[in-house]
Amino acid sequence: MSPVTDPAQHAVLMLVVPLAGALLISLTGRWPNVRDGLMLVTAATLFVLATGLVDPVLHGNGVSLVLAEPFPGLALALDIEPLGLVFTLLASLLWLVTSVYAIGYMRGNREARQTPFFAFFAISIAATMGVAMSGNLLTLFVFYEVLTLSTWPLVTHKRNDAARAGGRTYLGVLLLGSFALLLPAIVWTWSVAGTTDFTPGGILAGRIDPLPAAILLTLFVLGTAKAAVMPMHRWLPAAMVAPTPVSALLHAVAVVKAGVFTILKVVIYIFGLDFLAGVPAERYLVWLAGFTVISASVVALKQVEIKRLLAYSTISQLSYIVLAALVLAPLAEIGAGVHVVAHAFGKITLFFCAGAIYVASKKTRVDQLDGIGRRMPWTMVAFAIGALSMIGVPPTAGFVSKWYIIAGAFQADDLFVLAVLVASTALNAAYFLPIVYRAFFRRESDAPAVDHREAPWPMVVALTFTAAATIAFFVFNAPVVEIESRVLEVSR
């Protein structure tokens, strides 16, 4: 890649590259090898582009530009700050990995309509990049909606009754949140503050009373249905009808992280931590997030479908981030940002494993996994690593973020949050460890229909990589933590 001359152009390229990729993919559908090759090249290019933004964002004057101005004074604008930078890096890296995985999955599974599948996948990534780089709420909303709509064809990919029903719930809940809660919240913000720019320190202080501010924050937190805070979580289990690469990247990383990312941005750059501390009703949302953490874990305990179990685990983990953001302690904010990354590596590994199990053995239920660790050792070791990260056991990524969140809870003397974290750790262990136990320490009850080994090699490579990353992050988390801490320096 050429050296970064104009970071703003660079940012535009981050949107254009995946879209161009989508176009190329749809044009070359007749030659699957060319198509898949192009997809890998696109994903790699995007990641390289994202790494090129690190320096200008951290050491330059920031990266911002205006794309268009649909309303007087209110533009479609990009403005990359540290939080968004981490998100672009994360999503683009994992897209590359998921592409490798998806090629194995779609081919191994002989899925129909692979070309539109990969094309919409690329569009979703473009939308994710847009969300990450948004300079104001309007821009964020635009890309947020593009993300909702471009993932619908992926969720309904199988085109059977289950897919149609899942697709309805998916769109229904997400659009309910955006049109009924999020959009009014954004227009309200614009009406009150006269701007929707993400500004360090927030834009609402002194412009809105505490009680309306609490209502506004509630609209934001619930309206951002992608963050799946209860009761807006129903779309996430419904989305599990999608092929597993979608569940892995979009519904464990890109889409849901776009949700919590929105909430983080709103808390830090729209309300501002200092202002929110003076909004007493904010506490109710902490309780709501805490409730989501616990109850989603309880529901996960009872799930027998692997992917549904993972979906409920995701709901629970997302609310960790919301919870941490709303604790309003500096260390907890860092923890929230770090957990975006930590959870991503662990959860994508788990989904990769679920997909690998499905492709190799067509098994989808927890109770079918007895002894599968012997047939698929790589996959199940990776699964165990992902599970440990969800529980928060060292040496995995999950421990790092949990550490910061707990430290933040102490900083704020928040015993409720501590209690939630402890209870949820126990619950996570209660539903993940039995699976690991089954896979390695039980005997296969009866021989499977097909005598299988590991899934196709691209899948194994991908899940090994993310599992390794989950462990590596335990040691090499310094850059991420450092970038996240800048968010707070800037907003002070």
Partner 1 sequence: MTLVDWMPFCVLAPLIAAPVCALLPGRRAPWLLTLAAVACSALISGWLLPAAIQAPLSYAFGNWPPPIGIEYRVDAVNALLAVLISAIALVTLPWMRQSVDAEVPERQGPFYALFLLALAGLMGIVMTGDAFNVFVFLEISSLSTYALVAHGRRRGALLSAYRYLIMGTLGATFYLIGVGLLYIMTGTLNMADLAARIPEVADTRAVRAAFVFIMIGLGLKLALFPLHRWLPGAYANAPSAVTVFLASTATKVAVYVMLRMVFGVFGIEFARQMPYQDIFMILGAAGILFGSIQAIGQPTAKRMLAYSSVAQVGYIALAISLLSVEGLAAGLVHVVNHALMKGALFMAVGAVIFRLGTNRIGDFAGLAREMPLTMLAFALAGLSLIGVPLTAGFVSKWALLQAAIDEGLWLVVAVVAAGSLLAVIYLGRIIEAAWLRPAPEGRGPVREVGLWMQLPLWLLVIANFWFGIDTTMTLGTATQGAALLIGSPP
Give the residues lining the site for partner 1 (CB under 8 A): 68, 70-72, 76, 138, 141-142, 145-146, 149, 153, 156, 159, 163-164, 167-168, 171-172, 175-176, 179-181, 183-184, 187-188, 190-191
Residue 61 and residue 80 in contact, taking contact as beta carbons nearer than 8 Å = no
Distances (CA, A) of 279 to 173, 175, 198, 274: 28, 28, 19, 9
The least CB distance from residue 67 to partner 1, in Å, is 9
- How does DSSP classify residue 456? P
CB-wise, 103 or 185, nearer to partner 1? 185
- How does DSSP classify residue 445? S
CB-wise, 152 or 473, nearer to partner 1? 152
Residue 465 structure tokens: 């990589």
CB atoms within 10 A of CB 476: 10
CB-wise, 179 or 476, nearer to partner 1? 179
What does the alpha-carbon distance between residue 39 and residue 62 come to, in Å, rounded to a whole number? 30
CB-wise, 25 or 57, nearer to partner 1? 25
The least CB distance from residue 27 to partner 1, in Å, is 14
Q: DSSP per residue over 335-385, as a string? A: HHHHHHHHHHHHHHHHHHHHHHHHHHH---BGGG-TTHHHH-HHHHHHHHH
CB-wise, 156 or 424, nearer to partner 1? 156
The least CB distance from residue 136 to partner 1, in Å, is 13
CB-wise, 180 or 481, nearer to partner 1? 180
The least CB distance from residue 158 to partner 1, in Å, is 9
Amino acid at 178: S
Measured CA angle at 441 (ends 370, 305), to 5 deg: 35
The least CB distance from residue 465 to partner 1, in Å, is 34
The least CB distance from residue 157 to partner 1, in Å, is 10
CB-wise, 190 or 473, nearer to partner 1? 190
- How does DSSP classify residue 239? G
What does the alpha-carbon distance between residue 381 and residue 377 come to, in Å, rounded to a whole number? 6
CB-wise, 223 or 272, nearer to partner 1? 223
Residue 230 structure tokens: 């209860």
Angle, to 10 degrees, between the axis of helix 210-223 and the axis of helix 255-265?
A: 170
The least CB distance from residue 256 to partner 1, in Å, is 20
CB-wise, 188 or 437, nearer to partner 1? 188
Number of residues that make up the chain:
492
Query: 125: closest CA among 155, 90, 174?
Result: 90
Estimate to the nearest angstrom the gap between the alpha carbon of 20 and the chain centroid. 23
The least CB distance from residue 145 to partner 1, in Å, is 5
The least CB distance from residue 170 to partner 1, in Å, is 11
CB-wise, 2 or 71, nearer to partner 1? 71
The least CB distance from residue 211 to partner 1, in Å, is 14
Q: Where are the beta strands (DSSP E) in 183-266?
A: none
Residue 329 structure tokens: 């302690």
Query: 173: closest CA among 219, 123, 239, 78?
Result: 239
